[in-house]
Amino acid sequence: MANTAQHLDAQQRQPDLAMLPTERTLDPETILDMVSALVAQGQLALATEMTDLARIIHPNNEPVLATSALVAEVSQDWFKARALLTRLRHLQGTSITAETYRHEIRVLRCLGSVIPAMNLAQVTLEKFPSDTILLQEYEELLSLFNTELGALG
């Protein structure tokens, strides 16, 4: 009876993920659906492991890199998020999105790298001048920089 109760308790703690049919491969969409379900259930460690696996299977897949970076951000693993976003930015090349830049700027800010974040925001605004979120981020960084500069003086 105790074993049955322990088994049921262990089953309840497992994420509610659909089992993959054996004939399906671990394509990016399937993996990302699983990661999304894990994050929604608060299973960040397992979601991180899943994104690590996804990057091994699909190393140059933009959605996999973007999702991996988001999971790292949610987990507040700023160094990993920075590395993943840098890799994503290089992979996207000339088709880089403002959103990728916004996430990288935010991660730099969380790392306490105000000047690099401000510089990246300034360069990004040249590419996306009408992005109001970027503009707001740049203004906040500029204000933070001026505050820090004033504290030194």
Per-residue pLDDT tens over the stretch 85-111: 999 999 999 999 999 999 999 999 999
Q: Which of 13-17, 37-41, 42-46, 106-110 has the lowest mean pLDDT?
A: 13-17
Residue type, position 152, single letter: L
Q: Is the pTM of this model over 0.95?
A: no
Q: Is the pLDDT of residue 1 over 60?
A: no
Q: Of all helices (H) and strands (E), which one includes residue 136?
A: helix 132-152
Give the confidence band of 150 by pLDDT, cuts at 50, 70, 90: low
Work out the end-to-end distance of the chain between its first and last CA atoms, rounded to an integer number of angstroms: 71
d(CA 67, CA 52): 10
Six token digits for residue 44: 């960040």
Residue type, position 10, single letter: A
Six token digits for residue 69: 């970076």
Residue type, position 149, single letter: L
Q: Is the pLDDT of residue 15 over 90?
A: no
Q: What letter does residue 111 receive in the DSSP assignment?
A: T
- The radius of gyration of the chain's CA atoms, rounded to the nearest angstrom, is 20
Give the confidence band of 57 by pLDDT, cuts at 50, 70, 90: very high
**Residue that wins the pLDDT comparison between 147 and 128:** 128
Nearest Cα neighbor of 101 from 81, 122, 119, 124 is 124
Q: What is the pLDDT of residues 59-91, one digit of tens each?
A: 999 999 999 999 999 999 999 999 999 999 999
Give the confidence band of 144 by pLDDT, cuts at 50, 70, 90: confident
Q: Is the pLDDT of residue 9 over 60?
A: no
> Helix, strand, or coil here: 129?
coil
- Are 86 and 54 spatial neighbours (Cβ–Cβ below 8 Å)? no
